[in-house]
């Protein structure tokens, strides 16, 4: 999979892709993440990418010209499955969205800033708008990092244990069951006996029950979907 992220702060996005699972995914050739500096597409001497809001009001707006030049350049080199704009008024990012994105070959992610981007970009150039939650960030970079992390870990071969992503929360609309590791007892706090029993089928049953219980308690909205 190829992910091209258009940003005015490529340096801000370097670190998340240089560690742990995301780094390994790139090393294994399972994903290629390119950070594209939007300012490189500004024809302005000061590399300006924003301007005052038409009609007045506080805050700057990202201009269409550099964004269009950048997207058109990328599109001239390959076909993209989605051109995504990170935006608080976009479709809420959910596990099923990430599952779908992880099946795509080439995507562009555009990070906004300031008051946002010129509406014509959204109308004519963007194919999907994604929000990571009902709160406002100062820029789209952290949202892009969150979204790309959740996509990349789903690519076949990225996680060592292939089934591990499938048993995570939100797959099947259930929250994950509790997990434990050594020591078996700490401060008198014990690990549930069943996990030490070696009975695989019983352990699976216990985990499923805990999943159901936890979903019902913490996310009745999800629980209703599956029951
Ligand atoms: N004026 C806009 C907010 C702009 S915030 C509004 O009220 O809707 C600046 C940029 O941060 C946005 O262009 C977007 O790319 C990014 N951003 C902010 N909050 C976000 C969220 N919840 N999800 C995804 N991107 C977000």
Q: Is the peptide bond before 183 cis (omega within 30 degrees of 0)?
A: yes
Q: Read off the pLDDT band of 150 (50, 70, 90).
A: very high
**pLDDT confidence of residue 114:** 95
Query: Hey, what are 1's tokens?
Result: 């999979």
Per-residue pLDDT reduced to its tens digit, 159-217: 987 668 888 889 889 999 999 999 999 999 999 999 999 999 999 999 999 999 999 99
Average of per-residue pLDDT across 9-24: 96
Backbone CA torsion sign across 211, 216, 218, 219: positive
Residue pLDDT, tens place only, 39-49: 999 999 999 99
Q: What is the mean pLDDT of residues 107-125?
A: 98
The pLDDT of residue 164: 80
How confident is the model over 92-97, as a mean pLDDT? 97
Say what the pLDDT of residue 20 is.
93
Tokens 């596990």 belong to residue = 95
What are all long-range contacts of 103-107, with beta carbons under 8 Å and residues at least 24 apart? 104/1, 105/1, 105/2, 105/81, 106/1, 106/2, 106/4, 106/78, 106/79, 106/80, 106/81, 107/1, 107/2, 107/3, 107/4, 107/80, 107/81, 107/82, 107/83
Q: What is the pLDDT of residue 162?
A: 61
CATH of domain 169-225: 1.10.1270.20
Q: Cα of 67 to ligand 1 centre, how many Å?
A: 16
Mutate to test the pocket of ligand 1, among 9, 112, 145, 150 (most ligand atoms within 8 A of CB): 112
Ligand 1 is surrounded, with C-beta below 6 A, by: 86-89, 111-113, 115-116, 131-133, 135-137, 139-140, 143
The b/e string for 144-166 (b: 16+ C-beta within 10 A; e otherwise) is bbbbbbbbbbbbeebbeeeeebe
Structure tokens at 42: 């500004």
pLDDT over 90 (residue 225): no
Q: Give pLDDT, residue 89.
A: 98
Question: Could you read off the pLDDT of 118-138 as tens digits, one per residue?
Answer: 999 999 999 999 999 999 999
Give distance in angstroms: CA of 87 to centre of ligand 1.
Answer: 4
- Mean confidence (pLDDT) of the chain: 96
**Chain-centre distance for alpha carbon 56:** 34
**Where exactly are the structural domains of the chain?**
2-152, 169-225
Tell me if the domain spanning 2-152 has CATH number 3.40.1280.10.
Answer: yes
**Using an 8 Å Cβ cutoff, are 145 and 16 in contact?**
yes
**CA 117 to ligand 1 centroid distance, Å:** 10
Question: What's the pLDDT score for residue 68?
Answer: 98
- Nearest in space to 112 (alpha carbons), one of 59, 43, 61: 61
pLDDT above 90 covers a percentage of the chain that reads 93
Q: What is the pLDDT of residue 32?
A: 98
């Amino acid at each position: 999979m190829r992910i091209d992220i258009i940003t005015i702060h490529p340096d801000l996005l370097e670190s998340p892709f240089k560690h742990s699972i995301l780094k390994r995914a790139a090393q294994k050739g399972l994903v290629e993440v390119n950070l594209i500096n939007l300012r490189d597409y500004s024809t302005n001497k000061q590399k300006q990418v924003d301007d005052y809001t038409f009609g007045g009001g506080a805050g700057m707006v990202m201009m269409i010209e550099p964004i269009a030049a950048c997207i058109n350049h990328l599109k001239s080199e390959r076909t993209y499955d989605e051109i995504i704009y990170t935006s608080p008024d976009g479709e809420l990012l959910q596990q099923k969205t990430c599952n779908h994105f992880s099946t795509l070959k080439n995507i562009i992610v555009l990070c906004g800033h300031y008051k946002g981007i010129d509406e014509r970009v959204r109308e004519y150039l963007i194919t999907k708008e994604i929000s990571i939650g009902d709160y406002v960030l100062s820029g789209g970079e952290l949202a892009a990092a969150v979204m790309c992390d959740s996509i990349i870990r789903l690519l076949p071969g990225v996680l060592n244990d292939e089934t591990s992503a499938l048993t995570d929360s939100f797959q099947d609309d259930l929250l994950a069951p509790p997990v434990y590791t050594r020591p078996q007892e700490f401060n008198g706090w014990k690990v549930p006996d069943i996990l030490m029993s070696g009975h695989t089928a019983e352990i699976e049953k216990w985990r499923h029950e805990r999943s159901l219980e936890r979903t019902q308690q913490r996310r009745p909205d999800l629980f209703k979907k599956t029951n």
